[in-house]
Every structure is written in structure tokens, then in C-alpha cells.
């Protein structure tokens, strides 16, 4: 449950901060006017909703390095690091993208992630545990999966989707507050929500709509995982990709050392059990991903 709350909190924080900014700048009063200016409201919500998402995207690589302790390989210091750089360069060339930065982060669980604001300025990182326990062909498959994320533009796509849902969360929250305010005025001789009451309803509505929006973003994230798996299978071979996912499944009982802000892009997520966890999971269950690859291989 804590993981779910943190996942939702990341998305809702942008919306709440934007709402407070709108209030401090006096925009809320303008938007309400003599009723509600829907065109102006939608424009303001779009600007603030997209701004937070885009800022997060542009600093994603910097945040990833700091939060995971990733050390970027500038010059390889051993055979493993040289192989890692050469493999990522080869996969990137096959995928038609510029070679991303390559790094290693100090987690004992086998894991990996990709991030960056565009496909030609990305970061691919693997955990020390993954390098220590996986066979080279399995590591290559995991790297191919992450290269697939980069080549598919998943970071940009998810940021855009998050920005759009943020826009509508903010917009509909204020529509709800306006309707509640109008209802109270009609029932109490013109006494509506008032300044603080209106703002309180907006925040509550944003939290409710934000939870629904997070489920939508999570669904799309799960869809993109299947595409990244397919890309990994194409670049590294179906057998290697399936074996890598099976190895990851065997390690799901180990403590997860990925920061919550990067779990959506970590390859090992998806072993959820409850309906609530499945609804907000950023990754599909590993069994489903393995089954999808096997079915594709037999077509």
C-alpha cells in the first residue's frame, strides 16, 4: 500500500502545487468571474498541468543518477564495463538511436531502468546484482528491453500523457467546485462555499480525480512494457528475453532498492497480487509478459 501511495503522491504533488500557485497568483478569482470561464480555465490548467510533467521529464536523467547512485561509465575500468558499453552501442545502432549513457547502480537485486528526455539523450543503467547473477545473453536481453523503451520514446509519451491527465484533473476539479458552490448558493440565499471552502473542494476533487488519472497512466505504462519486451526480443532474441524475465521473476522476493520515483521504468516491477495493486501497477505481471513473448514466438 505504501508503494501505491507514493506512486499516486508523485502524480498528485504536481497538481496540488499548481493549484496553490494558481490561488496565490489570483488566477482562481479570474477564472470564476461571474460564473466560470471554461476556455480560460482549460488554458490555464493545460499550461500548469503540462509544465510540471515536462519539468519532471527534462530533469529525469539527473534525478535518476542522484536517487539511485548510478555511476556513469565514462571510461571502462574492467572487461565487464567494456562489454556493457559495447553491447549498448550495438543494440542502440540496431534500434536506430544514439547510444545512451550507460551506468551501474549499487543494488543487489537484478534490475535496470532507462530514462531521459528524448531517445538521443537517454540513460540506461543496470544494477550490480544483475551483472553479477545473470548470464551475458540475459543481461543483453535486459539491455535490449531498456533500449526498446528509449527507441519507442516511452519517457516522452508517458510525460505527455501525464500532462494531459493533469490538465483534466485540474479542470474537472474546478468544475465540480463551481457546481457545488452554485448548488449551495441556490439553497442558502447566496451563501456559497466562500474562499477557503471553494479551495478545499478543489483539492479534494483533485485527489479523487488524480487517483483515477493515475490508474489510466499506469494502464498505459503496462501497455508500453509489452512493446519494450517485444523490442527486446527482436534485438536480443525471444529465448534470451524470456529467460531474462524468468530470472527476474525468481528474484522478486528480494528487497526492492529502486527509488519510488523510478519504479515505473524498472524492469522487475509487476509481481502484484491484489486488485488494487494491479490497477495501479506500472508493469504487468512477469508471467503475463513471458506468456505474451511465447505466444508471439509461435505466430
Write out the binding residues: 145, 149, 225
146 is catalytic: yes
C-alpha distances out from residue 92 to 58, 99, 121, 157, 283, Å: 21, 5, 12, 19, 23
Q: What is d(CA 231, CA 147) in angstroms, rounded to the nearest whole number?
A: 8
Strand order, beta sheet including 101-105: 71-72, 101-105, 122-127, 112-116
Q: Which of 28, 138, 146, 206 is catalytic?
A: 146
Return the C-alpha cell found at 251: 528474484
C-alpha distances out from residue 272 to 29, 86, 258, 263, 286, Å: 44, 34, 16, 13, 9
Considering just the CA atoms, what is the radius of gyration of the chain in Å?
22
Q: What is d(CA 36, CA 6) in angstroms, rounded to the nearest whole number?
A: 33
Q: What is d(CA 100, CA 85) in angstroms, rounded to the nearest whole number?
A: 9
Q: To which residue does cell 499550461 refer? A: 47
> Distance from CA of residue 143 to its chain's centroid?
18
> Comparing C-alpha atoms, which of 287, 253, 270 is closest to residue 109?
253
Return the C-alpha cell found at 296: 508471439
> Distance from CA of residue 295 to its chain's centroid?
27
- Name the binding residues for Zn(2+): 145, 149, 225
Cβ-proximal residues to 117 (8 Å cutoff; 6+ apart), any chain = 57, 58, 60, 61, 155, 156
- Which residues carry out catalysis? 146
Amino acid at each position: 500500500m505504501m508503494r501505491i501511495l507514493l506512486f499516486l503522491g508523485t502524480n498528485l504533488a504536481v497538481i496540488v502545487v499548481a493549484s496553490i500557485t494558481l490561488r496565490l497568483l489570483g488566477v482562481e478569482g479570474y477564472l470564476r468571474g461571474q460564473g466560470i470561464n471554461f476556455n480560460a480555465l482549460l488554458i490555464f490548467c493545460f499550461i500548469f498541468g503540462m509544465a510540471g510533467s515536462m519539468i519532471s521529464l527534462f530533469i529525469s536523467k539527473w534525478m535518476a543518477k542522484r536517487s539511485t547512485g548510478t555511476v556513469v561509465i565514462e571510461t571502462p575500468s574492467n572487461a565487464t564495463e567494456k562489454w556493457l558499453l559495447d553491447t549498448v552501442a550495438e543494440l542502440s545502432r540496431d534500434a536506430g538511436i544514439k547510444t545512451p549513457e550507460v551506468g551501474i547502480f549499487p543494488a543487489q537485486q537484478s534490475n535496470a531502468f532507462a530514462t531521459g528526455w528524448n531517445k538521443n539523450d537517454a540513460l540506461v543503467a543496470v544494477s550490480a546484482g544483475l551483472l553479477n547473477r545473470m548470464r551475458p545473453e540475459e543481461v543483453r536481453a535486459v539491455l535490449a528491453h531498456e533500449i526498446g523503451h528509449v527507441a519507442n520514446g516511452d519517457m516522452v509519451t508517458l510525460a505527455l500523457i501525464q500532462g494531459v491527465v493533469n490538465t483534466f484533473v485540474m479542470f474537472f476539479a474546478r468544475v465540480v467546485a463551481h457546481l457545488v458552490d452554485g448548488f449551495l448558493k441556490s439553497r442558502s440565499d447566496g451563501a456559497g462555499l466562500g474562499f477557503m471552502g471553494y479551495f478545499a473542494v478543489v483539492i479534494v476533487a483533485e485527489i479523487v480525480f488524480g487517483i483515477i488519472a493515475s490508474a489510466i497512466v499506469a494502464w498505459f505504462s503496462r501497455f508500453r512494457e509489452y512493446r519494450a519486451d517485444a523490442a527486446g526480443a527482436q534485438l536480443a532474441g525471444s529465448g534470451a528475453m524470456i529467460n531474462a524475465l524468468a530470472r527476474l521473476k525468481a528474484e522478486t522476493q528480494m528487497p526492492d532498492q529502486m527509488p519510488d520515483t523510478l519504479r515505473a521504468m524498472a524492469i522487475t516491477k509487476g509481481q502484484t497480487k491484489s486488485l488494487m495493486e494491479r490497477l495501479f501497477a506500472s508493469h504487468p505481471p512477469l508471467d503475463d509478459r513471458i506468456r505474451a513473448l511465447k505466444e508471439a514466438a509461435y505466430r
